[in-house]
Amino acid sequence: MDLISLLCALLVALIISAIVSTAYNQYVLRRKVKNIPQFGGFPFGVAFELLKLTDYELVQWLTERMLRIKKGIFIYWIGFIPFISLHKPEFLEIILPSTVNIEKGEAYNLLHSWLGKGLLTSTGKQWFHDRRLIGPTFHFSILDQFAIIMSEKAEILTKCLEKEIAKNSKKAINIFPFANNVALDIICETAMGVDIHAQEVETKFTSTIHRNSILIRDRLLQPWLWRDWMYNLIPSAKEYNSGVNRLHKFTREVISKKKIARQSQNSSVKSEDEDDDGVDIGKRKRKAFLDLLLDQNEKEEVPLTDDELRAQVDTFMFEGHDTTAVAITWTLFLLGNNPEQQEKVHEELEKVFRDSETPASLKELSQLKYLDRVIKETLRIYPSVPIILRKLAEDVKLGDYTLPKDVTVALDVLLTHTNPEVWSDPKKFDPDRFLPENSKNRNPYAYVPFSAGPRNCIGQKFALLEEKTILTAVLRKWRVKSVKTPDEVQYGPALILRPCEDIFINFTPKK
C-alpha cells in the first residue's frame, strides 16, 4: 500500500471512529434524559425549524411548548446539543443558589473578544475573586454619588424630549433611542468618569457601542457563527472586531489617565484633557466605578492587570446600558397602555413633589412605592435578561428528573415570569401583584429579573435607582400614550429582551 492510500485509510478510520463515538455519546446522553419532555430528533434536532423563525416567533415557540407541557421543564435539541428549558420556580431554586453550577453557557463565549473575562463571563476561582473585589464598589453609600449623575442625565433627557416634541407635537416619538442614549450617558460617567454627551451628539464611541451590540445580537441568533473561525469569514466580523479594538483603546486610555492622576495625587484628570472623540475625562471630582475598583485593587496581593481592569469596566459598560434602556422603554410603553395605572403613578408623583420642579432626591424617590411596583411588574412581563444559560458542573436532581453533568440548562426567566401555573392572568399588567400581602406566599424564585444566588446581578440596586430616576423625570412632565398595544408589538430574546420594532409613544404635557 502506497503512502497516499495509507493516509486515506487512516483518514477514513478517523472519520468512522468520530462518527461512532459521537453516535455512542448521543445514545448515552439521550438515555439519561429520556424521561424529560423533548423536541427534536437525531441528528438535527429543531435547528431547521428554529432557523425559519423570527425573534418574536421564537418567543412564541417557547411559550407554546411551556403551555403544552406544563411540567416546568422540556428539552429542545439543536443538532447534538440539548438545551434544557427550566421555568418552574422550584427548579430555578435548585440551580441558581448553587456555588458549584456557576459556569455560563457557551453562548457567553461570544462576548470574550469584547468583554474578556469580566464578571459576566468568568467562572471558577477567578469569578469568586472578582466578585469579592467588586462587591464593595456597589455599597449603598456609593449610590448617592451615582444618583447625582443620574439626575443630571435625566434632566438632559427631558430637554431632548422637549426639543423633539416641539418639532411636531402631534407626532409620536420612538422612545427606545432616547432611553438608550440616557442610559449610555449614565453608565459612561458612573463607570469611567467620562462625559460622552451621548444624548446631544453621536461620537465614534457611542456609535460603536450601539453597532457592536447589534452585531453581537445578530451573531447570537445564528449558532453556526458561534465558532470564531466561521464568524471571521463574513464581512460583519471585520466591522465587529474593528469596533472592539476601538472600544478597548478608549477604555485603556481612560485607565491609563486615571492611574497617572492617582500617582500625582489628583482625584481626576484635569477637565481640559480630552480624547480624540472630544469627551471629557474626569470632568468632576467624583469617584467613578473605575476609581473605586482601583481603590480596591491596590489592596490586593495580586492586583488585576490593566487588561483585567479593562474587562471589568467594559463589562459594566456593556451590561449597564442596554438592560436599563429596555426596562425604561417597556415601562413607559406599558403605562401608555394602562391609563388607570398611569394615573396612580401621577397621583403619587403629585403627592410627593407637589409644585416642586427641582430634581428628585433619594429621599423623595424612596417614597414612590407604587412606581416601585410598576417597575417590578414591567420586569416581570418584559425581563431585561430573558434567559440565563448555565453549564452544569455536576449531575443535578430536579424532582423526578436528573440532569447530567456538562449539559446546558436555559433558566428561562421570561417563561417563568409568564407561566400561568405560577401567575394568574400572566399577560395582565397589575403592579399590585407586588403588594406585600400578595407576595408573601409566592416562591421567591418565581420572580428573578436580576437572577438570584451567588451570580445575581451585582448592579441591580444601581439599575433600579437609574430606572426610577429617569421615569420620575419624564412622568413629572408628561402623560404618555402608546401607539400600539402589547399584542401588536414584537420583541425577541437576543441577550436582552429588546423590541423588534420602534416603540412609538405620544407625550402630553401635564397640566
Look at 47-56, 338-347, 405-414 and tell me which has the smallest mean pLDDT. 47-56
- Fold for domain 39-509? Cytochrome p450 (1.10.630)
- The SS3 call for residue 348 is helix
Confidence of residue 277 (pLDDT cuts 50, 70, 90): very low
Mean pLDDT value of segment 77-94: 90
What's the mean pLDDT when you consider all of the chain? 87
Between the CA of residue 320 and those of 128, 184, 313, 315, 464, what are the distances in Å? 21, 8, 10, 8, 11
What the block records as the C-alpha cell of 267 is 482625584
Q: Grid cell 437525531 — which residue?
A: 42
Provide the residue type at 447 as one letter.
Answer: Y
Q: 139-196, pLDDT tens digit by residue? A: 667 788 889 999 999 999 999 999 999 987 778 999 999 999 999 999 989 888 888 8
Question: What is the spatial distance between Cα 42 and Cα 30, in angstroms, rounded to a whole number?
Answer: 10
Mean pLDDT value of segment 75-100: 91
What was the pLDDT predicted at 17? 77
Question: Is-cis flag, bond preceding 43, omega within 30?
Answer: yes
Using a 10 angstrom Cβ sphere, with 0-12 exposed, 13-18 middle and 19 or more buried, the burial of residue 465 is buried
Mean pLDDT value of segment 254-283: 60
Q: How many angstroms separate the most distant Cα atoms in the chain? A: 95
What the block records as the C-alpha cell of 217 is 445580537
- Using an 8 Å Cβ cutoff, are 237 and 243 in contact? no
The set of residues, in sequence order, having a beta carbon less than 8 Å from that of 415 and lying 6+ positions away, is 62, 63, 66, 85, 87
Between the CA of residue 408 and those of 81, 271, 374, 396, 447, what are the distances in Å? 8, 48, 33, 12, 21
Residue 458 CA neighbour count, 13 Å, CB half: 22
Is pLDDT above 90 for 510? no
Beta-bridged to residue 508, according to DSSP, are 479
Is pLDDT above 50 for 279? no
Question: What is the spatial distance between Cα 111 and Cα 217, in angstroms, rounded to a whole number?
Answer: 10
Question: What is the spatial distance between Cα 18 and Cα 508, in angstroms, rounded to a whole number?
Answer: 65
What the block records as the C-alpha cell of 206 is 457611542
Q: 323-380, pLDDT tens digit by residue? A: 999 999 999 999 999 999 999 999 999 999 988 889 999 999 999 999 999 999 999 9
Mean pLDDT value of segment 473-492: 96
What the block records as the C-alpha cell of 92 is 430555578
Rounded to 10 degrees, what is the CA torsion of 21, 25, 28, 33?
A: -160
Tell me whether residue 457 is annotated as binding. Answer: yes
Mean pLDDT value of segment 56-69: 92
Confidence of residue 265 (pLDDT cuts 50, 70, 90): low
What was the pLDDT predicted at 105? 81
Question: What is the spatial distance between Cα 327 and Cα 344, in angstroms, rounded to a whole number?
Answer: 19
Q: Grid cell 428561562 — which residue?
A: 412
Is pLDDT above 80 for 408? yes
- Using an 8 Å Cβ cutoff, are 73 and 429 in contact? no
Is pLDDT above 90 for 382? yes
Beta-bridged to residue 401, according to DSSP, are 398
Provide the residue type at 502 as one letter.
Answer: D
- The SS3 call for residue 307 is helix
What was the pLDDT predicted at 157? 97
Q: Where are the domains of the chain?
A: 1-29, 39-509
Rounded to 10 degrees, what is the CA torsion of 301, 285, 320, 348?
A: 130
Handedness of CA 486, 380, 466, 492 (dihedral sign): negative
- Using an 8 Å Cβ cutoff, are 196 and 279 in contact? yes
Question: What is the spatial distance between Cα 285 and Cα 52, in angstroms, rounded to a whole number?
Answer: 53
What the block records as the C-alpha cell of 365 is 424617590
Mean pLDDT value of segment 191-203: 85
Is pLDDT above 90 for 281? no
Question: What is the spatial distance between Cα 293 and Cα 320, in angstroms, rounded to a whole number?
Answer: 16
